[in-house]
Chain A
């Protein structure tokens, strides 16, 4: 079945540091890939998405590129802020497979001033 693997957290950074959160996936079909973010005390919300290979999703300074050859969708940001502290979830929905949305375990990001 489909699966998503994320790097374990917490990831702790100083403000203005570079961020990478790794995400790899397995899928039977051709998935759409997503990053969702959950800020403290709030519900999950979409951060960015990519629906086909080589697409780059971007939002709020975050980027992720759909890499079919490495089955990866790593999240990056050039300069993090304290307000980026949250839990980040990588997810997929498989067009050719089960259609069941599949989420990773989440990676907690803590940014210190």
Chain B
């Protein structure tokens, strides 16, 4: 079975520019997660979708970050405008259901560098 796909793998932008990341979860997985992982830290949840609805976005900086999951399949995460502190790896993960006992499957991540 194909894993979680993410693109691009690497992105370098200047501060105040915008950037978008794309994620395609494992087929049939209802729940999709976006995480931010700053160097030396664990992943921090930004937003969680169940199909095309938002389950939790309490840790998403909504003044600059947005995400959507149209049609309940693939998803995009956007940053506009970017700040230096947004430099991180952005991880997408999916799971069969939202229940906390379900395993998450992670994509390879997108490494963002903001200069």
A66-94 residues with Cβ-Cβ distance < 8 A to B are 89, 91, 93-94
> Interface range on chain A: under 10, 10 to 19, 20 to 34, or 35 or more?
20 to 34
Q: What residue in chain B is nearest A101 (Cβ atoms)?
A: B45
**By the criterion CB–CB under 8 Å, are A93 and B101 in contact?**
yes
In the complex, what residues of B have CB within 8 A of residue A94's CB? Answer: 100
**By the criterion CB–CB under 8 Å, are B42 and A100 in contact?**
no
B106 interface residue, CB < 8 Å from A? yes
**By the criterion CB–CB under 8 Å, are A99 and B103 in contact?**
no
Q: How distant is B16 from chain A, measured CB to nearest CB, in Å?
A: 30
B70-115 residues with Cβ-Cβ distance < 8 A to A are 91, 93, 98-101, 103-109
**In the complex, what distance in Å separates the CA atom of A45 from the CA atom of B105?**
6
A interface residue numbers (CB < 8 A to B): 4, 31-32, 34, 36, 42-46, 49, 51, 89, 91, 93-95, 98-106
B interface residue numbers (CB < 8 A to A): 3-4, 33, 40-45, 48, 55-56, 58-59, 91, 93, 98-101, 103-109
- Show 5 A/B contacts (Cβ-Cβ < 8 Å), sorted by A: A32-B101, A43-B107, A99-B100, A105-B40, A105-B42
